[in-house]
Amino acid sequence: MIHVDDVTYFTRGYCFALALELHARAGFPLRVFHSDNDHHHHALVKLPDGQFLDVRGIQNRDAIKRHWGPGILRAVGPDFFKDWSENVEVSLGKLGKKRLNRVANKLLQRLVTLKCTECPAIKVVSREPCFYDFTEVTTICPRCEKDPKKKARHDRLLVPSRGTTRKAKHDRRAQNKK
């Protein structure tokens, strides 16, 4: 049994355990990346904005292919991984539940969804340590920002009224809904 860091543990071994945990906790659908070059498979989850999440953080499709080389991403169910632990246990030992919890917590706690005020676009980002503890933030997406009408409407949300801003109220309402 070898000792490895979290990234190696959850990319070259227990990637499927982390994906299953994220799927169970947050409902994110499971994906598996099949590399063309070797027979390596990597498990991860798909985020609501179309990006993907694994121990390395949020990545889009291009970033995954840059890292793993050419291959395809496929939707799978939890059963797809049922035989995977047998091979992994040989080199990494039984799955470390504490380690799994710690890494899953860290990843999920950092997710922030940016929502456009002018269209249904969303983008999931990883919270920087200095960010406030919001899980949802209203903003304007790059596409709407190019439209002067939408930009102006969005900016009016930021105009202060009686000591508070409509944007702040909007954010608070969004936060309270959680």
Chain residues in the site for Zn ion (CB under 5 A)? 116, 118-119, 121, 141, 144
Q: Return the number of the residue (11 or 117) whose C-beta is nearest Zn ion.
A: 117
CB 143 to Zn ion: min, Å = 6
User: Toward Zn ion, which CB reaches closer, 54 or 118?
Assistant: 118
Q: Work out how close the CB of 129 gets to Zn ion at its nearest, in angstroms, rounded to a whole number.
A: 27
Name the residue among 177, 71, 139, 2 with its Cα closest to residue 62.
71
Residue 122, token pair as written in the block: 């969303």
Nearer to Zn ion, 98 or 149 (CB): 149
Query: What separation in angstroms does the CA of 86 have from each of 13, 49, 80, 92?
Result: 11, 33, 13, 10
Smallest gap, in angstroms, from Cβ of residue 144 to Zn ion? 3
| Tokens read off for 53 | 């999440």
Cα(118)–Cα(5) distance, integer angstroms: 42
* Tokens 């947050």 found at: 26
- Shortest separation between residue 68's beta carbon and Zn ion, angstroms: 31
Which residue lies nearer to Zn ion by CB, 7 or 119?
119
CA angle 137, 122, 27 (to 5 degrees): 95
